[in-house]
Structure 1
């Protein structure tokens, strides 16, 4: 079998099954595990999958820069943001993550809502500048330009003193096996701290992030209470999360 054909088969299996186990695939294809592992390494270098111990998971396409991510399923992100904004209740202390979907959430918060919004994203803070009934607390630190958020020791120190009602989290990957993941080690640590600082965590996940994984773990699925995605998301992609008892909202 030609290498190109074999790689296409690997990607097809990954898309169909949501994961790939090198030993099983090598036996099915009649080639060595070393050959399959080499194929997986090369596909990972092309950004077509995410390697994990023993095999691979689908790679998240949501790893472009901030401007690039705003062009990915913009209508879906608007719908997710609108649905999430409706969940915020008067008087709550809410943590908003950075990112393009969270930006849509901020844009859809009613102007008359009274609440406190904590964010480590200057972009989110600016979206709320005209919400006079929203107290905005901006967490500072080193600017991570890719996501336009603050990271680092000072950000972690500030987060340690927060007890919020809910955290609306953005990630680049949501996967039944890998949990919630993102593409930067330090940003993953900040998201994890923000999640632990809130009574509940709700994940904002456009459909391209479902059944996909990135290199760095944020929190396991057991630590979140809800996922908001587009109405167009395939039900088969959502079933694993529903079975885990996670509330899935299709916006």
Structure 2
């Protein structure tokens, strides 16, 4: 396969998958690892993809005022059974009378269905989560000021001094684009900045991450180190090696049975 045809197919593969490793691309393109690495380097210089350790990521078209990341509703459909089980367990950690922060995200959003009978003060930067809780529960709901990014369902404030700094929470529930030994990872610097601001207002950080997040290569910006995490809730797809690594960091790992949830 000549260079331009192979590179065109490489870009098409990334557009379909979002990201791919060199090993995966070897099978798709029927080319050597060295050839694929050269192609990735050339396309990265041309601004046609994002080069990542061991592979490459699709470069989504620019959207005015948009954020880097997968569409919220697309994320809701991915591994939904795992996410529902994780969200149910996370909601059970909320105690009546508490103030908690629920960060925007597909798994954290699913907590709302299990908080309808709770009596909480909930600060969330998710418009859809706030809307569901306002209509389906009697919890007190707080929203930060800022711009609503529809595709990611998140409210981001451009200001350092906003309503967030006036509230303190005993727990913050957060997802992640990926989880690695370096910490929680995200794709967009604005999201990272917003999440760091929220973390400063919470005592315990509780991470909701299905097992696919430990293999994900779709993010490269560190939100926080693992040492900041108190509890991580995941599904039974997590490897023993990963679980041991997390526990060695002092994290309480809660594993749920995703198969017990309807798909």
TM range, smaller chain: 0.7 to 0.9
Q: Distance in 1 between matches of 2:161 and 2:239?
A: 37
Note if 1:190 corresponds to 2:194. Answer: yes
- Residue by residue, what CA displacement relative to the aligned partner does 1:86-116 show, whole Å, maximum 9, x if unpaired? 00011110000111101111111241x2111
SS at match of 1:192: helix
Counterpart of 1:108 in structure 2 is 114
Note if 1:83 corresponds to 2:94. Answer: no
Residues 237, 131 of structure 1: alpha-carbon distance in 2 compared, 3 angstrom cutoff: same
Note if 1:220 corresponds to 2:220. Answer: no
Residues 135, 239 of structure 1: alpha-carbon distance in 2 compared, 3 angstrom cutoff: same
Q: Distance in 2 between matches of 1:65 and 1:101?
A: 13
Task: Map 1:53-64; keep pairs closer than 5 Å.
Answer: 55-56=53-54, 63-64=69-70
Residues 238, 212 of structure 1: alpha-carbon distance in 2 compared, 3 angstrom cutoff: farther
- Give the unaligned 5+ runs of structure 1: 13-28
Which shifted more, 162-171 or 203-212? 203-212
Shift of 1:156: 5.7
- Residue by residue, what CA displacement relative to the aligned partner does 1:131-184 show, whole Å, maximum 9, x if unpaired? 11x11111121112231111132476222222111100121010013x111111
Note if 1:139 corresponds to 2:144. Answer: yes
Q: Is the 8 A contact 1:156 1:193 kept in 2?
A: no
Q: Distance in 2 between matches of 1:144 and 1:156?
A: 20
TM-score, with length taken from structure 1: 0.76
Counterpart of 1:38 in structure 2 is 38
Shift of 1:36: 8.1
Counterpart of 1:22 in structure 2 is none
Q: Distance in 2 between matches of 1:167 and 1:145?
A: 22
Note if 1:119 corresponds to 2:124. Answer: yes
Note if 1:237 corresponds to 2:249. Answer: no
Q: Distance in 1 between matches of 2:251 and 2:56?
A: 21
Shift of 1:196: 1.5
Q: Distance in 1 between matches of 2:57 and 2:180?
A: 10
Residues 200, 221 of structure 1: alpha-carbon distance in 2 compared, 3 angstrom cutoff: same
What do you get for the CA RMSD once the two structures are aligned? 3.1
SS at match of 2:196: helix
- Residue by residue, what CA displacement relative to the aligned partner does 1:201-231 show, whole Å, maximum 9, x if unpaired? 1111111111434132211111111111112
Counterpart of 1:173 in structure 2 is 178
- Give the unaligned 5+ runs of structure 2: 11-19, 25-32, 59-67, 257-263
Residues 83, 146 of structure 1: alpha-carbon distance in 2 compared, 3 angstrom cutoff: same
Q: How many residues align?
A: 220
Counterpart of 2:209 in structure 1 is 205
